[in-house]
Amino acid sequence: MPQRIEGVNAQDLMFELNVAELQLDFVLRPHTAIYKSLKYIKEKSRVLDVGCAWGYLAKLLKPKQCNVVGIEIDSKVAKIAENYCNQVIVANLEDIETLQPLLKNLSFDVIICLDILEHLVRPDKFLVFFKKIFNTQWKINCFYPECSKI
């Protein structure tokens, strides 16, 4: 039986956990963005997982002892991600005014954007924002299935 998570009812939690389990099985296949990203992340890296969903990337990075901060728009999904991420920020990526103070004192070795940029109305504004706020040398790893918006 899964642990009780405050703010999420049992039926929603079971549904989300079942979906997360199916997703984890899928993301471990060699053709997926998460699987391909794992090789770029060194041990003990500070990772920002943009659109972290249920935290399956953070779960896969546990053996590498990475510090993973996730950003997720869905608060129910974020509650599950808290089991794997060191920190989860619930925020809309396009609300830069809200996001900026939440990220301004953090630093990362790697920023991961997996299948997320195509959901943004203005992904260019988001990437420019990230370049400004993280003004040191950093790597961003992006995978997106629909590139007509980028």
Q: What is the mean pLDDT of residues 128-133?
A: 77
In a domain, 74, yes or no: yes
Q: Per the confidence metrics, is the pTM higher than 0.95? A: no
In a domain, 148, yes or no: no
In a domain, 93, yes or no: yes
In a domain, 119, yes or no: yes
Range of the domain at 39: 10-143
Question: 3-state DSSP: the chain helix, strand, coil percent, rounded to 5?
Answer: 40, 15, 40
Please give the pLDDT value at position 135: 58
| Number of other CB atoms surrounding residue 2 within 10 Å | 12
The alpha-carbon radius of gyration of the chain (Å, integer) is 15
The amino acid sitting at 124 is: D
In a domain, 53, yes or no: yes
| Number of other CB atoms surrounding residue 126 within 10 Å | 19
CATH number of the domain that 119 lies in? 3.40.50.150
Q: If pLDDT is split at 50, 70 and 90, which confidence band does 2 have?
A: very low
In a domain, 22, yes or no: yes
Q: What is the mean pLDDT of residues 39-66?
A: 91
In a domain, 39, yes or no: yes
Among 43, 51, 46, residue whose Cα is nearest residue 73 = 51
Q: How many domains does the chain have?
A: 1
Is 93 a residue whose pLDDT tops 60? yes
